[in-house]
Structure 1
Amino acid sequence: MGTFVTLAEVLEARGSPLEEDEVWCLLLTTADALLDISKKNMCSVLSPGSVLLSANGSLAFKSCARYEDVASFTAPEVQQGHAASTRTAAEKMVVYSLGMTLYWCVDYHLPQNQPVQLSNELEGLLLSMCEDVVMRRTDLLTVLETCELHHKASMLPPAERLVRQLVEDVYRNSDLGPEFIRVLDEPLVVLELPGSIVSKKGKSPTTHRELSVVMPSGQSILVKCEVKSRAGDVFDMIVAHSNLMEHFYFGLAYIDNEFFFVDNDTKISKVASDSWKKVPSTTFVLYFRVKFFVNDISLIHKQTRHQYYLQLRRDLLEGRLSCHEETALYLAGLALQTEYGDCMPEVYGRNYYRPDQYVSKSVMEKRALPYIQGELLRLHTNNAQMLTDESELEFLKQQLPEYGVLFHRVVREKKPLDGEIILGVCAKGVIVYEVKDGCRSTNQSFYWRETATISSNRRKFVIECRGSKKKYTFITERSKTAKYLCNLCSAQHKFNNEMNSRQLTHSLVSENIVQYAAVCRAQSSNLKSFSCSETPQDDSGLTTPQDETLNKLCDDVTARIEARIRQQTPTKLGASSEREVICVSLKKDAKLGLIVIVGEDTVGRYDLGIFVASVVPGGPADKDGRIRAGRLISLNHISLEGVTFSEAAEVMQSSPEEVQLIISQPKYDSQITLMTDGRSRDDSLDEIVSVMMTPKTSNRLNVPRDVRVPGTQ
């Protein structure tokens, strides 16, 4: 920005109309400035883009730009081609423009069903300025005198101070506010796929292509690739650029009325438009979005939480997710705390934010703007002293009914004309929504535990319920959509099992081992079969141990744990429920190795990850001192999510001398007090618990690598 900002820029920065006192002050300053220049050369038309406000409190005017639509601000006599023959005639032309400009300022971004809120005095003055008949129109001197009288009677602050405040708001808010607005001013990031990934044909300019990847923050990243590049290569490059550790919650998606996630093995050309395949200068847009949503936000790293926050924030604002009006305003107050810190209108000004950047259009249309502004100011004030991480976490903790739901339009097979139907796929199952008057309402739910099979046949997407064996058929627009929904359901089902397992592990580490065993017993009774394919499988779906055997094992574990705890005097362990993700670089020791991993590849069907049980005394990890009992996420950028113990051991053995580990572990206090019996414990019991925590599975949920079902057609 230069020395001046236009009146249009002021309104754009604040996103709301001018208030009455601001209009009086601005009208006083403008009329005074116009009288000063009326003796020289006065333009006949003013507009919001030609009124200039200076940081020192003064005003100036410029000629209207050619691209501006100034017809609404132009006096009728000017439109008819009449020239000003006298100074008074010229003044009345500009009075009309000024009146219409200020009317535009008080009507800015107001919904059509909401009237302009003005006092009778100000409205009468503006109407007299906008008279079509020149003889009835107020002259400039009368406008100035009326403003001066009102200024004194109302004891308004100096008009110059208001002008300075409006300019400062524009400058100040450029460094604050929504991240998806601030990134628009950042330079474009350009990434290029490495030569080792691009094929020989990719070296030809005719096969070069460009992708625009939109991040949750709204930032667009330009990726240079070739026409046969795979989605996984682009995804890996985005993850590496973003330094995102828990990348397995995300995916690349494209829009075809709805978001469709692209499998990592799929070539971009399979989902891109025909023009992108044929014309090198065409850009195809992909979206880096959350694909898997966790219920317990504390289980993910704060860097991942921030991406969740950004996506949820945009989806609510743009109407992709719906929520109650009160909840929407409460969330907007948390977003203001996250993006501005404590509410300080005396520093930022009364209009320090744009309401339309925090409240969805549907809410704006239901409530008057003054009410929304008052509520947001109150809610923002109530969040005082909350840190950014705390307000983001509180934002995500709100149990929104549509949180984590991926929507796709379908129709019923037997009643296709009963209104619009939307299928919502989430980690817990499939939800059927009916759409009435633009609002979604839940009609039916199919949770995984109640579902026998999910299948697709051409355009048909079929859900068969367990027990009743009743089938529900929905028709999709294309056969590939039905197949996509099948794969999406399978991926979400596997993710749900994975997250249930992690929550069990979280309970074991941070809460109570007895609670873990009890939950484990409950889990064993709920592990039912589930298949997802074009040809529905039988109930054996995902092979699991016999319920009786697993129940017996859980009962035995619980009894033995409780017996041990009764013999011990527990004291403060020092561990908190909060987890941390650390990145540690170590050099391998030929004799001592790095760490010891608890694992077993022959028992059970749980895929809870690879865990660090202990460090080798005197070894590199022990000397580093940061590694404790925790979950090993990756080794040398190779994800260990969903791999068996033997596979993880092979990765470690084949790793080079320099090893980088990413570990998720509970935070500990500086003082840790062990149980009174020290190291004495039931080794066989620990072995059983260890085996239950890290077993092998042939049908595991491999979140980081690929969520496709092996064998899915």
Structure 2
Amino acid sequence: MRESLRRLTSDELVTRTMGGKRRVRVELLDGEHINVDIDRKARGADLLDRVCEDLDVLERDYFGLLHQQRGDPRVWVDLNRRLSKTFRNEPWDVRLAVKFYPPEPSELRDDVSRYQISLAVRRDLMEGRLTCSTITYALLASYILQAELGDSTGHLAPTALSDYRAAPLHAVTPDMGERARELHARHKGQTPAEAELNYLENAKKLPLYGAELHCARDSEEVDIVLAVCASGVSVYRDGVLMNRFPWAKITKISYNKKSYTLKLRPSEFDAFETQLSFKLPSTRACKKLWRCSVEHHIFFRRESPVKVERIAGFPRLGSRRISCRRTLRQMRADPPLPREIVA
């Protein structure tokens, strides 16, 4: 009986065979869900394009799709792979997310893309991947209030900050709420698009803005966090920045089993290249970090996507499939597709 109910729920709510199609349940950045019917042989890129079309997002290359795999809730869907090979079992559940955060939000040309990226930053703050001081929480919250409510009326409901996901619950205090209300009053006249841009312009200054975090250990077996972002790879210990390696300084990124290695070009005081290795909890985690690093390097540093070849001597080192359709330079050179005007 229980198995029958489980099968019935799965068939009705999420993935159903409909003439070679599958129904995918997509969680959006605002927490809402939509169902997308897509061909069973479609690739991850096809699904991402369908979701972006439904949301009217033009600058799609900043975005990606997350799914859960073996207990890890943040595994990126391979855009070049068939969905039927990615999802071995039903249901097909994915979550829209920002994969590459724009280092300069002011360069975004699409208001809808900017809005979706601001939702992603709000989600990062709410889920604890991004943290800041109480003063910064209040400043960011004030721009959300301006975007959502318009000009201040001098009164703010006690639950407004939580209702609009302006700040995580642990940061909401009477003092912070009062400070956010005061700052909100100063933003009079700003349109929602202007408020969202100002929100991102302040959020981009946070140390972990747009960073993918990976738990690891250094050569002394000390627990650290490796943060991969637009500028490079950073090392944090107990929340404190210990070292930063810009992409321009990194000459090679590799992994072997649980070992992740960065090779750094020599400085003016060094005669040889420096090689740093970090230990990850598993081979799967190490491969995930390597892939994240390579994709970020390609997107933010390269003129165009490049094919990543297998390393000689390591015939079974893992997949070299990279999900990066266009680089940031290509996006800046090519304007987004014009939005259709419906009469």
* TM-score computed with the length of structure 1 as normaliser: 0.38
Structure scoring higher RCO (CA < 8 A, sep ≥ 6) equals: 2
- Per-residue deviation, 1:362: 3.2
Partner of 2:225: 422
- Per-residue deviation, 1:191: 11
- Per-residue deviation, 1:607: 9.6
SS of match in other structure, 1:401: coil
1:314 matched to 2:123? The reply is yes
- Per-residue deviation, 1:337: 0.9
- Per-residue deviation, 1:609: 4.7
Partner of 2:134: 325
Supply the distance in 1 between the matched residues of 2:150 and 2:18 (Cα, whole angstroms): 48
Q: Is the 8 A contact 2:261 2:277 kept in 1?
A: yes
Q: Any idea what the Cα deviations from partners look like across 1:512-562, whole Å, max 9, x if unmatched?
A: xxxxxxxxxxxxxxxxxx99766389xxxxxxxxxxxxxxxxxxxxxxxxx
Partner of 1:214: 27
User: Which of the residues 65, 69, 78 maps onto 1:263?
Assistant: 78
One-letter code aligned to 1:238: V
1:472 matched to 2:291? The reply is no
Partner of 1:456: 255
- Per-residue deviation, 1:322: 0.9
Supply the distance in 2 between the matched residues of 1:477 and 1:210 (Cα, whole angstroms): 34
- Per-residue deviation, 1:392: 0.8
1:248 and 1:191, CA in 2 relative to 1: closer, same or farther beyond 3 A?
A: farther
Q: Any idea what the Cα deviations from partners look like across 1:494-514, whole Å, max 9, x if unmatched?
A: 22225xx79xxxxxxxxxxxx
Q: Which runs of 4+ in 1 moved over 6 A?
A: 190-193, 530-533
1:461 and 1:372, CA in 2 relative to 1: closer, same or farther beyond 3 A?
A: same
What is the aligned length?
302
Partner of 1:285: 93
1:353 matched to 2:160? The reply is yes
1:403 and 1:536, CA in 2 relative to 1: closer, same or farther beyond 3 A?
A: farther
One-letter code aligned to 1:461: Y
1:342 and 1:326, CA in 2 relative to 1: closer, same or farther beyond 3 A?
A: same
SS of match in other structure, 2:138: helix
1:410 matched to 2:226? The reply is no
Q: Is the 8 A contact 2:258 2:279 kept in 1?
A: yes
- Per-residue deviation, 1:372: 2.7
Task: Map 1:512-527 onto structure 2 (within 5 A).
Answer: none
Supply the distance in 2 between the matched residues of 1:291 and 1:533 (Cα, whole angstroms): 23
1:389 matched to 2:193? The reply is yes
Supply the distance in 1 between the matched residues of 2:154 and 2:301 (Cα, whole angstroms): 48
SS of match in other structure, 1:309: helix
Partner of 1:122: none
User: Which of the residues 311, 316, 334 maps onto 1:535?
Assistant: 311
Task: Map 1:230-241 onto structure 2 (within 5 A).
Answer: 230-241=43-54
Q: Which has the larger radius of gyration?
A: 1
Q: Is the 8 A contact 2:14 2:23 kept in 1?
A: no
- Per-residue deviation, 1:339: 0.6
- Name structure 1 gaps, 5 residues minimum: 1-189, 194-200, 503-529, 538-605, 611-629, 635-660, 664-713
Partner of 1:224: 37
- Per-residue deviation, 1:404: 1.4
Supply the distance in 1 between the matched residues of 2:206 and 2:312 (Cα, whole angstroms): 33
Q: Is the 8 A contact 1:432 1:445 kept in 2?
A: yes
Supply the distance in 2 between the matched residues of 1:532 and 1:350 (Cα, whole angstroms): 53
Q: Is the 8 A contact 2:255 2:290 kept in 1?
A: yes
One-letter code aligned to 1:411: R
1:441 and 1:271, CA in 2 relative to 1: closer, same or farther beyond 3 A?
A: farther
Q: Is the 8 A contact 1:338 1:392 kept in 2?
A: yes
- Per-residue deviation, 1:192: 9.8
Partner of 2:19: 203
- Per-residue deviation, 1:396: 0.5
- Per-residue deviation, 1:265: 1.8
User: Which of the residues 486, 493, 505 maps onto 2:297?
Assistant: 493
Q: Any idea what the Cα deviations from partners look like across 1:425-447, whole Å, max 9, x if unmatched?
A: 11221111223xxxx22122111
1:212 and 1:441, CA in 2 relative to 1: closer, same or farther beyond 3 A?
A: farther
Q: Any idea what the Cα deviations from partners look like across 1:120-140, whole Å, max 9, x if unmatched?
A: xxxxxxxxxxxxxxxxxxxxx
1:631 and 1:495, CA in 2 relative to 1: closer, same or farther beyond 3 A?
A: closer
SS of match in other structure, 2:210: coil
- Name structure 2 gaps, 5 residues minimum: 1-12, 267-271, 314-326
Supply the distance in 2 between the matched residues of 1:490 and 1:316 (Cα, whole angstroms): 25
1:534 and 1:430, CA in 2 relative to 1: closer, same or farther beyond 3 A?
A: farther
Supply the distance in 2 between the matched residues of 1:312 and 1:318 (Cα, whole angstroms): 10
Partner of 2:244: 445
- Per-residue deviation, 1:228: 5.5
1:334 matched to 2:143? The reply is yes
1:383 and 1:270, CA in 2 relative to 1: closer, same or farther beyond 3 A?
A: same
- Per-residue deviation, 1:350: 4.7
Supply the distance in 2 between the matched residues of 1:394 and 1:407 (Cα, whole angstroms): 25
Identical positions, percent: 25
Q: Is the 8 A contact 1:258 1:407 kept in 2?
A: no
One-letter code aligned to 2:74: F
Q: Is the 8 A contact 1:191 1:221 kept in 2?
A: no
* TM-score computed with the length of structure 2 as normaliser: 0.76
SS of match in other structure, 2:92: strand
